Each structure stands twice: as C-alpha cells, then as structure tokens.
C-alpha cells in the first residue's frame, strides 16, 4: 500500500518536472549566455526557498518530501548496514602508503598510476597529515552543524559564489534535491580567502580549518608531483598547467542527516568533481560514499586516518583522458548522520585548461578544447550533479 502511494507520487513528480523543464527552456532563451554568467556569476538568489535538510530530519517525518524522492532507476538498490560493505561489493579501492611512494617505492607509485587510469580513486595512508588535526577538523564541523539552524542561517550561501551554508547544488527550479546540507569555503587564491565568511563557532573552528587547509594544500602538492611523473612528464608539469603558484583550493563540508527513507533518496547524486584533485576525509563511523565501477556502485570502506583521493574532470582533460575522473555518489541511512570534508585542489580559475602538449600528437589529438575552470564549473553550479555527462559531452568537436 505504501509502495503504491509512493509510485503515484513519483509519477506526478516526474510530470511536474518535465513541465518545469519546458518552461525553463522558454525562459533560457532570454537568459544570460554562459559567457555572461562567468562574468557576472549566477546571481544572488536561489530559484525557490531553501529547505534545510537538517530541519526536515529533526521534524520526525516518517517519509521524505517528494522533492527528495529519486526515480526508481536512480535509487540505491541496497541500503548499507553501518560501516559494513554490502554483500555484492567485493572490490575495494586501492590503499596506498604515500610515505613509501615518496621514499622511492616504484611498485606503490605504479599502483597510484593504475588507480588513476582505471578508477580515478584511491585511499592514502601515511600521508603526512596529523590524525589529531583530521579528527579536530571533522569534530569542529560536526559541532557547527549541530548548532541550531538559526545560528547557521547567518552564513546562508547564494549561487553567485556558493560560499557559506547551503542546501542545494544547481539553480533549476523544481529540480529533485539531495539529502544533505553543506558548507563551502575558499582557501586559495588568497584574495578569495575570507575568514569572515567562515563560521565563528565552535570557538576553535577558524584556527583548525586554517591549519587543515594549509596541510591539505601541501598534500595536494605532493600528489600533483606523483600524478605528473606518472604521466611520463616532468613532475612540475601538472602544477604549471594549474597556473603554478596561482592554483585554487576550496572545501565543501557535507552534512548528511539521518534519513527516514534512505532507500528513496540520495545524500549526493552521481557526479564527477569538476576540478583537479579531491582529497576527502570521510566520516570515521559511517560509510556512504560509493564509486561507480561499470554498472556497480562500490561502497568505500575508508581505513582509519586515511584520505580518499579522487580525480576531477580537469585531470581527465589535462591527461587527455589517460586519467579518469571518477563518478561517485553518497547514500544515506536512517540510523546515523554522516559528516565528510571534501578538499578540492584546482587549477587557477581563469586560464585555459587543455590536454598537456606532451601528451598529444598528430596520431593522438587533443580530446578536449581549451576551457577555463570558471567556465567549466558553471555546468555543475547551474544544473547540479549529473553523472559524467558534462566531461563526456565536452569532447572536442574538431575530432568529431
Ligand atoms: C563531494 C563528494 C563525498 C562524500 O563533496 O563532491 O563527493 O563522501 N563527497 O561526502
Ligand atoms: Ni564529489
């Protein structure tokens, strides 16, 4: 009976969504071009009032509002028992000892190379970031999300920069939503770092986040050299393509509240990260991140004190598709909330990014046309998470 009701609701939802899409297309004709949007940003307002997922989770609902119900084909086909792999996921993502790579172990370096070419995903241990700092950062953010909703509204974000406290990705009216709230902030370039846009509570949060950012920038730099060398080019090459010292760094802290119907919703819909390298600190208590491998979604079982590293679309573009950005999603559960910190190491945002010269030739033409990261990330900022559709459609027209 409950199932039947749900199905009917979904049909209505899908119909409404199509209607809205038609309207959107009408409106889009008069809208700013993507070029204008890059110059002027996406505007100061969301298309409709923001729903804080935390408020929904705390209102003792027995189901989730229609806006959070995914069509059947997109729902998680299995729910996870906390901290355990679902039966079907036998493969886990590779675990790599970074200190061993840095001290010259070729075998481990080769394993990173394979992971980048196949999955675009691996975990690193012995990465040089202190476990106490990792725990302190995670717990500071957990405390922030536990503040009353009103205390967080002061930092409410807008689509123009996404900085601050947010609850949606994408500005399409009527779009289906994901079961998370988040906080987005910039570390680099320094002109974009504005600690006044960071939370002031809990009292240690700015200091901890600042140090965390510095340490993750260093880890990002180390990974960049390894990834560059694994492409057979100079170890500084990728960093130079990122704009040298002018690269960017930002962070999205994800808060996934408990969800009364985890089998109908997603914490974060399938997407690849638009940027360079993502260094994720997952929740040490609750699994939820899944990586696509063929037709399977593999749940990541992160080791204690490990970071999960994944490549974004700019790495796929710069490597001319030798490296793959990874498609991933997050599932939620009804028993435990989940907090994760996604740190993004990105190219300077206004320079053209295209396959490295050394990797292209007449027989191996560039697969992607040059595009700035500012321009590129407008897609996800406008349309929200859409799998790997953008990087796939971005293939150079010159080559058919
Ligand atoms: C992201 C992301 C995964 C997670 O923020 O882009 O994929 O585990 N997060 O929260
Ligand atoms: Ni992601």
pLDDT in tens, 324-351: 999 999 999 999 999 999 999 999 999 9
User: Is the preceding omega at residue 282 within 30 degrees of 0, hence cis?
Assistant: no
Contact 232, 320 (CB under 8 A): no
Give residue 235 CA to ligand 1 midpoint distance, Å: 28
pLDDT tens, 167-213?
A: 999 999 999 999 999 999 999 999 999 999 999 999 999 999 999 99
Distance of CA 167 to the CA centre of its chain: 14
The upper half-sphere exposure of residue 273, i.e. CA atoms within 13 Å in the direction of its Cβ, equals: 23
Instruction: List beta partners, residue 309.
Output: 122, 279
Nearest residue (by CA) to ligand 1, atom 5, is 342
* Confidence bin at 83 (pLDDT 50/70/90): very low
Residue 2 binned pLDDT confidence (cut-offs 50, 70, 90): very low
Dihedral angle of Cα 193, 196, 201, 205, to the nearest 10 degrees? 20
Residue with tokens 């974009």: 192
Pocket of ligand 1 (CB under 6 A): 252, 254, 268, 273, 280, 282, 288-289, 328, 330, 340, 342
By most ligand atoms within 8 Å of CB, the mutation choice from 120, 287, 289, 299 for ligand 1 is 289
Interstrand relation of 248-256 and 181-188 (parallel, antiparallel or unpaired):
antiparallel
Average pLDDT over residues 218-229: 98
pLDDT-derived band at 256 (thresholds 50, 70, 90) equals: very high
Closest ligand 1 atom to Cα of 344:
6
For the segment 97-156, what is each residue's pLDDT rounded down to a tens digit? 999 999 999 999 999 999 999 989 999 999 999 999 999 999 999 999 999 988 999 999
Sign of CA dihedral 301, 307, 313, 319: negative
Atom 6, ligand 1: which residue's CA is nearest?
273
- pLDDT score of 398: 56
Establish how many alpha carbons lie within 13 A of residue 324's alpha carbon, considering only the half-sphere containing its beta carbon: 17
Q: What is the pTM of this model?
A: 0.89
pLDDT on residue 25? 37
pLDDT value of position 337: 97
Give the closest ligand to the alpha carbon of residue 281. Answer: 1
Give 31's Cβ-side CA count (13 Å radius): 17
Q: Does residue 6 have a pLDDT over 50?
A: no
For 342-382, what is each residue's pLDDT tens digit?
999 999 999 999 999 999 999 999 999 999 999 999 999 99
Q: Which tens digits make up the pLDDT trace of 280-323? A: 999 999 999 999 988 889 999 999 999 999 999 999 999 999 99
Q: What is the mean pLDDT of the chain?
A: 88
* 236 against 27, higher pLDDT: 236
Ligand number nearest CA of 138 is 1
At 40, the pLDDT band (50, 70, 90 cuts) reads low
Pocket test for ligand 1, best of 93, 284, 330 (most atoms within 8 A of CB): 330
């Amino acid at each position: 009976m409950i199932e039947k009701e749900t199905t009917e609701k979904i049909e209505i939802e899908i119909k409404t969504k199509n209607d809205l899409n038609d309207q959107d297309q009408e409106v889009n004709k008069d809208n700013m071009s993507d070029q204008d949007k890059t110059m002027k940003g996406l505007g100061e307002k969301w298309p409709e009032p923001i729903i804080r997922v935390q408020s929904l989770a705390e209102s003792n609902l027995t189901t989730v509002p229609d806006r959070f119900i995914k069509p059947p084909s997109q729902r998680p086909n299995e729910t996870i028992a906390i901290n355990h792999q679902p039966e079907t996921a036998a493969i886990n993502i590779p675990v790599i000892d970074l200190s061993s790579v840095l001290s010259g172990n070729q075998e481990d370096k080769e394993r990173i190379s394979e992971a980048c070419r196949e999955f675009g995903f691996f975990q690193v241990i012995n990465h040089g970031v202190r476990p106490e700092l990792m725990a302190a950062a995670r717990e500071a953010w957990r405390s922030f999300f536990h503040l009353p909703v009103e205390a967080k509204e002061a930092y409410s974000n807008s689509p123009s920069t996404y900085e601050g406290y947010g609850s949606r990705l994408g500005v399409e009216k009527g779009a289906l939503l994901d079961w998370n709230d988040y906080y987005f902030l910039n570390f680099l370039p320094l002109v974009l770092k504005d600690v006044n846009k960071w939370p002031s509570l809990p009292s240690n949060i700015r200091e901890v986040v600042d140090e965390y950012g510095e340490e993750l920038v260093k880890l990002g730099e180390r990974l960049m050299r390894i990834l560059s060398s694994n492409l057979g080019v100079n170890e500084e090459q990728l960093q130079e393509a990122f704009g040298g010292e002018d690269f960017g760094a930002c962070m999205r802290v994800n808060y996934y509240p408990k969800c009364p119907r985890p089998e109908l919703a997603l914490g974060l819909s399938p997407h690849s990260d638009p940027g360079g390298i993502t260094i994720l600190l997952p929740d040490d208590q609750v699994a939820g991140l899944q990586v696509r491998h063929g037709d399977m979604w593999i749940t990541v079982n992160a080791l204690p004190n490990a970071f999960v590293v994944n490549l974004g679309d700019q790495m796929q573009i710069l490597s001319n598709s030798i490296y793959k950005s990874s498609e991933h999603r997050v599932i939620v559960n009804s028993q435990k909330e989940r907090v994760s910190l996604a740190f993004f190491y990105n190219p300077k945002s206004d320079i053209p990014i295209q396959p490295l010269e050394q990797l292209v030739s007449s027989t191996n033409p560039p697969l992607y046309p040059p595009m700035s990261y500012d321009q590129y990330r407008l897609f996800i900022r406008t349309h929200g998470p859409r799998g790997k559709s953008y990087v796939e459609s971005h293939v150079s027209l010159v080559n058919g």
